[in-house]
Amino acid sequence: MYVGAVFFPLLGACLAGFLGRWLGEKASQWVTVLCMALAAACGLGAFAEVALGSAPGVVPILTFLDVGGFEVEWALRYDTLSVVMVAMVTFISTLIHLYSVGYMSHDATIPRFFAYLSLFTFMMLMLVTADNLVQLFFGWEGVGLASYLLIGYWYERESANRAAMKAFIVNRVGDLFFMLGMALTFWTFQSVQFDAIFDSVSQAQNVQFLGMPALEVIGVLLFLGACGKSAQLGLHTWLPDAMEGPTPVSALIHAATMVTAGVFLMARMSPLMEYAPVALAIVTIVGAATCFFAATIGCVQNDIKRIIAYSTCSQLGYMFFAAGVGVYQAAIFHLFTHAFFKALLFLGAGSVIHAMSDEQDIRKMGGIWKKIPVTYLVMWIGSLALAGVPIFAGYYSKDMVLEVAYAAHTPQGMFAFILGLAAAFLTAFYSWRLLILTFHGAPRADHHTMEHVHESPAVMLIPLLVLAVGAVTAGFVFYPLFVGEAQLEFWNGSIHTAEHNEVLEHAHHVPAWVPLAPTVVGISGIVLAYLLYMALPALPGRIAGAVPGLYRFLLNKWYFDELYDRIFVQPARVLARVFWKTGDARIIDGVPNGAADLAVQAARGAVRIQTGRVANYAFAMIIGLVLFVTLLLYGAR
């Protein structure tokens, strides 16, 4: 069961990838769906046995590396943290695979797509079941590779190629810090095994590296690595461009796999992070800033998928600042509930795009809710969960994140609480802006598009309805286990602070206005969106015209792309041009090739001496002997 949860997706990827030509499109689709369903069944079984049955364990596979005294085992670590991720990843991925059967039905290379999708899932499962940092890094790089393949899946589009390259390069920046953190961890603990690190972390408190506490440096380096994968402020620029891939890819990246890897890393390394308060403060501040920053951009975007993408970036900020104040349970709880409603929103957006003949601009939609009622319903449910409206999943997890930030009683915690409240208001606002402009008002699409608006097939609607159930129920069902009364027994030591957490205890006894505030600001955001886009639809244009600078600033995503282009891209191009024109053309092609030409000419001269006549060779030998004797006699004098 434990092995099957991880390796069934790899089996599906191999069958579709290597045998897809012989299996055919239909068989390739359904064999990967079947393998994912088997993985999900194993993952849910593992969750029941390990998390609910309190039976953690490690399943050894083989020796991964054995070089000198450095040995790394390839083993599957199954504790509560792992099985929560395994169950969530396999379940969400199975629904996305099923949805893709309908969404990608007209694609030209279906086996390739499903092979990539299953490979992506396998790499994420390798990451979350890793028993050491090397194995985790294998999965870490694997999801980076798979995301590159999937974002650039439609490689005939230049925009898709650019987006794939951008995601790959930006993630390599974060991965450099991760590798440095991994190397420093080995230098500090002489091991990369999690148990060995966690057992000796208290003895490493006084270890110094370049005059700084080694644990603080490790914590900062690992967080910078997490910033790349989880698109935190500074290394976030790849995330919205990743929308160039097919919509199921966006759902998988944003809900269950790649972007959650950084949050998982912080939780997995929580025993070490607890001894790095400065690193945790940085995590809190960056997470809070990302939360607010991404929400402001989401308010003015017009591409339906980009709005939801910036929503993911913002929600990841919530998860990080929950980890930053030391309540990793709350971070994983929000990660867990977020997976359901974010997958629902992306797949719902895909259903809208499918209905609108591939149109993604919400300004060209409107008036379609009666034609696609099921999609309309699930988008409402996803938006209610995202906005944190009571009963829905996001209400329980996001409110808990804000409560622990307040309960931390630290400057960075209060900073996170304030920005988190502001982001909650903006989240509700842009969610209802999307709903209203997409589904309501007069139709803004052309007549031909409106004639062809239709509901998605059942193979796409069934996953949407299942995810909608999760978006409604996941919060109140799992609240007692993740952050409630049963959390100590549930986590069973897999997260360090599950043993005793004062911040979490205080979060359950905050003033009454603290848990009420997110709901109030969320409803206020919904009301504002209704007033601006339903009651007074001309007003948003007037506001944008009144403050054109602010509107342009947000529309251009705070000019991060332009700034990076000026600082990094253009200087790199200038340097590359110098290397090309001077280094390659003049020096490499000039000097060595010139010397090579001289050698060729000398060889041609030497060839003329080779006549093949013995008399000529004998004469040359005699002349050489005379010269040798002459020099010898001259030297003897």
Cα–Cα separations (whole angstroms), residue 16 to 29, 31, 111, 126? 8, 8, 5, 20
DSSP-assigned letter for residue 456: P
Sign of CA dihedral 123, 126, 130, 135: negative
Q: Say how far residue 587 (Cα) sits from the centre of its chain.
A: 42
Residue that is written with structure tokens 């650039």 in the block = 152
Cα–Cα separations (whole angstroms), residue 317 to 398, 439, 468? 11, 29, 24
Half-sphere exposure of 483 (CA within 13 A, CB side): 32
Interatomic CA distance for residues 73 and 71, integer angstroms: 7
Check residue 499 and give its pLDDT: 57
CB 217 within 8 A of CB 320: no
> Which residues in the chain land under pLDDT 70?
497-500, 588-589, 591-598, 636-637
Check residue 507 and give its pLDDT: 84
Interatomic CA distance for residues 442 and 446, integer angstroms: 12
Check residue 405 and give its pLDDT: 94
Residue 6 burial class via C-beta count within 10 angstroms: exposed 0-12, middle 13-18, buried 19 and up: buried
Interatomic CA distance for residues 549 and 555, integer angstroms: 10
Residue that is written with structure tokens 């049955």 in the block = 53
Q: Specify the amino acid at residue 488.
A: L
Question: How many residues appear in the chain?
Answer: 637
CB 110 within 8 A of CB 104: yes
Interatomic CA distance for residues 280 and 226, integer angstroms: 13
Q: Specify the amino acid at residue 343.
A: A
Q: Specify the amino acid at residue 123.
A: M
- Name the CA dihedral angle for 358, 362, 363, 368, rounded to a multiple of 10 degrees: 80
What tokens were used for 359?
């149109």
Q: Which residues pair with 208 in a beta bridge?
A: 213
CB 257 within 8 A of CB 250: no
Over residues 34-43, the pLDDT tens digits come to 999 999 999 9
Over residues 142-159, the pLDDT tens digits come to 999 999 999 999 999 999
Interatomic CA distance for residues 601 and 594, integer angstroms: 11
Check residue 18 and give its pLDDT: 93
Interatomic CA distance for residues 356 and 127, integer angstroms: 37
Interatomic CA distance for residues 549 and 388, integer angstroms: 31
Check residue 446 and give its pLDDT: 84
CB 421 within 8 A of CB 518: yes
Residue 26 burial class via C-beta count within 10 angstroms: exposed 0-12, middle 13-18, buried 19 and up: exposed
Check residue 636 and give its pLDDT: 65
What tokens were used for 387?
């906005």
Per residue in 200-218, is it b (16+ CB within 10 Å) or e — as a string?
ebeebeeeeeeeebbbbbb
- The residues near 324 (Cβ < 8 Å, ≥ 6 apart) are 280, 281, 282, 283, 284, 285, 287, 412, 416
Residue that is written with structure tokens 């709903």 in the block = 435
Alpha helix ranges (H) inside 153-203: 158-189, 194-200
Q: What are phi and psi of 285, to 5 degrees?
A: -65, -45
Check residue 497 and give its pLDDT: 64
